[in-house]
Amino acid sequence: MNYFSSNFKLGILGGGQLGKMLLNDTRKFDIYTCVLDASNEAPCKIASNEFHLGDLMDFDAVYNFGNQVDVLTIEIENVNVDALEALEKEGKKVYPSSKTLRTIQNKAAQKLFYIDNNLPTAPFSRFAYLSEIEDTINNGGLKFPFVWKAAQFGYDGNGVKVVRQFSDLEGLPTGECIAENLVPFKNELAVIVARNALGETKTFPVVEMEFHPEANQVEYVICPARIPEAVAKKAVEIALKTSKAFNHVGLLAVEMFQTQNDEILINEVAPRPHNSGHQTIEASYTSQFEQHLRAILNLPLGRTDSKVSGVMVNLVGAEGFSGNVIYENIEAIMKLDGVTPHIYGKKQTRPFRKMGHVTIVNEDLNEARRIAEEVKKTIKVISE
């Protein structure tokens, strides 16, 4: 198949920042791209060859879009899986597959998948309704504290809450959910695995994620993770075992906990480019986005090691600001060594909305982390 400067069409479901960054690489390779998104303001709109307006959860919108392209991929999991399955039955190449997506879309199904495949994960209980949790606590079948997770449609810290008392359950969605044991962990780690249709796999270095205490969002991604070699090796092995179990094609970001006694437990996975891999654009020989393209097009996978240490800072909307976005002090951070801002192209900001990220590269990881702190303190995402 000739993908380059040809009639080949790559379809991307979702027009957000992950798609926008993927399009940098489709343009580098001159691969023709079509994007489907529900918003006319989607960041992908300006960079794709064709932009289609449509609801990603609507069967007809996804099915009809899929019929116009040669290979279909995603940049967000919340898409109509039945449409993808119908397309696959007609011979369309869809990566990740509808089967993989169906499992990953539902957190309860995802957790059961780990148990079935002997993959380490925190103990959990599954509930059809939120009200069943209270009954189970009252009957002694569940103890505080635990982590409540909505089974579907959670993202960026939404749909996850630490529950320490009954009042923490108030106001949560009433539908299907899981209650997971609260893991006292040392670190949150992630490994991105790339796999093509031939089964060739490569892993990016283990990264460490530092979270915002209130928003449950990643503030910093640190590469390489500051952990012992033996722990890193274990994390990579578990990520590869997870990838093999899913038999996925494309990227699989495996988020994990490193427990106090250095066990590795899988938290959750994402079958696409991921926040924990953004530093690869500046710090690695092959970015996660180029690697995703290589994997889904069944091309040889690129080199995954880092050229230099990298730290990524998420830029999220400041609290108390909503409306037309303004990036304050962006010139000040660009004066700092090894700093590259990425602005996602969302015109409207609101508290904690992901608006961009900044990568800091440095030969010295500790220095990169120090500069990252300075970036975080300096730049502000506010509104008019």
Instruction: Report the binding-site residues for ATP.
Output: 107, 149, 180-183, 188, 267-268
Which residues, 6 or more positions from 62, have their beta carbon under 8 angstroms from its beta carbon? 13, 36, 54, 56, 79, 80, 83, 84
Q: Are 67 and 87 in contact (CB under 8 A)?
A: yes
**Residue 19, beta-bridge partner list:** none
**Backbone CA torsion sign across 195, 198, 199, 200:** negative
Which residues, 6 or more positions from 270, have their beta carbon under 8 angstroms from its beta carbon? 77, 104, 252, 253, 255
Q: Alpha-carbon distance 214 to 182, whole Å?
A: 16
Q: Enumerate the known binding-site residues.
A: 107, 149, 180-183, 188, 267-268
- 3-class secondary structure, 173: coil
- 3-class secondary structure, 220: strand
Reduced 3-state DSSP string for 319-354: CCCCEEEEEECHHHHHCCCCEEEEECCCCEECCCCE
Residues in the chain, overall count: 384
